[in-house]
Structure 1
């Protein structure tokens, strides 16, 4: 699928570019062990690093990056970003982050008068083929980030001539440090706009037999999902396992 990103010409040399999510996996995932001792069990267990659904979810779609370094201290956000004045594209916000009023979440579980809802401003337009929308959500399994990006669905086949921004709840009021330029602030998954036809029924005799065989294989053969059922990457030159793309992984 072709996903097209465009930015104002005066920002092209300053902005980090969106990346395929498989190229932006966090260092902790690559560094974590494949097995860990479980004292309650008395033996080692496989970690989520060996769980293909966990890793494949993190490697799906693309991530949108923070535009510049963002220093956070005592609830204040500071940046030093030499953004030139807008050119022929006309005016747009030049701040990498802004905020929402807490009242905008009134009536929802998100509402907390003491919580800060920020908005990570993006400077890229996003265009998808006709009939496709973009699901924007928090970078998958990234509980290490001090914020939680809210989930939204944008029809980027038609809304492709303006920026898509990413609101987030700032979860760590005590956070002090720097969010680096390029930090993923949203993970995006293109979705076809199709109606769903849900077919629910009991397994028939053949289906029950196959189910029993799969259950037996899952219980007796480690890595059966990875070996038999995990879809292979169909682009030439890409490894099926996103962690295998890194030397020494």
Structure 2
């Protein structure tokens, strides 16, 4: 069994019991994954075929790491964000009291994200996060959550060293036609612990034994789509 590691999430004492809790991503699968069929009719093959619900890499990516939740309901209507959330005063730590902030477009000048008439939003996170020694955290958009009307930017933070201040999450609101409410607890970021190590890349052509192994495994997968899940999934 792999060693169990711990991320420590802390919040100001004034907010203890008021904030939605970060959660293991395995506990935060969206309803559409649970409700979708395991197989669907494939018109090209004229038979039922497995959906991504039976694809271990797709599901394992969604259920790995931790999800950071939106701190309250946020309404988006006609291009305007509103919320009704009364947090206590910031106290000694001086935490922000709104669920979102904004980045001026100038901060992404020269990137594909730049739009002179559009701000980037920033989801406020009121949990500090401490990782074990030697580990960083990769923060990114919740994996495979194409249903969300925003896309969170990706960043890597050395949270074994930087853990006494908050990490907020810039995002691009890409669905201008969305009108509705993002509920409290909606995942706004997913984080993965990453051990800091030095890596190099090596390339090589198959030798005879490796060629045979690739041939055998490819044929086995063709005959039985569950080979990876049964024999290789950790």
Q: Which residue does the alignment assign to 1:149?
A: 152
Partner of residue 186 from structure 1, selected from 180, 185, 189: 189
Q: Secondary structure at the match of 1:45?
A: strand
CA offset digits 1:98-147 (Å, max 9, x no partner)? 11111111011111123331000000000001111110000000000000
Contact 1:133 / 1:155 at 8 angstroms: preserved in 2?
A: yes
Q: CA deviation at 1:79?
A: 1.0
CA distance in 2, matches of 1:16, 1:42: 46
Q: Say how many residue pairs are matched.
A: 230
CA distance in 1, matches of 2:68, 2:38: 28
Q: Which residue does the alignment assign to 1:201?
A: 204
Q: Which runs of 5+ in 2 are unaligned?
A: none
Q: Which residue does the alignment assign to 2:52?
A: 48
Q: Which runs of 5+ in 1 are unaligned?
A: 232-249
CA distance in 2, matches of 1:114, 1:174: 16
Q: Which residue does the alignment assign to 2:30?
A: 26
After the TM superposition, which segments of 4 or more aligned residues of structure 1 sit over 6 Å from their partners? none
Trace 1:1-249 onto structure 2 (pairs within 5 A): 1-89=5-93, 91-231=94-234
CA distance in 2, matches of 1:96, 1:155: 24
Contact 2:142 / 2:189 at 8 angstroms: preserved in 1?
A: yes
TM-score (structure 2 length as normaliser): 0.96
Contact 1:121 / 1:166 at 8 angstroms: preserved in 2?
A: yes
CA offset digits 1:61-93 (Å, max 9, x no partner)? 00100000111111111111120002232x121
Q: Secondary structure at the match of 1:163?
A: coil
CA offset digits 1:152-187 (Å, max 9, x no partner)? 011101110011100000001121111000000000
Contact 2:90 / 2:96 at 8 angstroms: preserved in 1?
A: no
CA distance in 1, matches of 2:117, 2:149: 16
CA distance in 1, matches of 2:97, 2:137: 24
TM-score (structure 1 length as normaliser): 0.90
Q: CA deviation at 1:38?
A: 1.9
Contact 1:65 / 1:186 at 8 angstroms: preserved in 2?
A: yes
Q: CA deviation at 1:194?
A: 0.9
Q: CA deviation at 1:39?
A: 2.1
How large is the Cα RMSD of the aligned pairs?
1.0
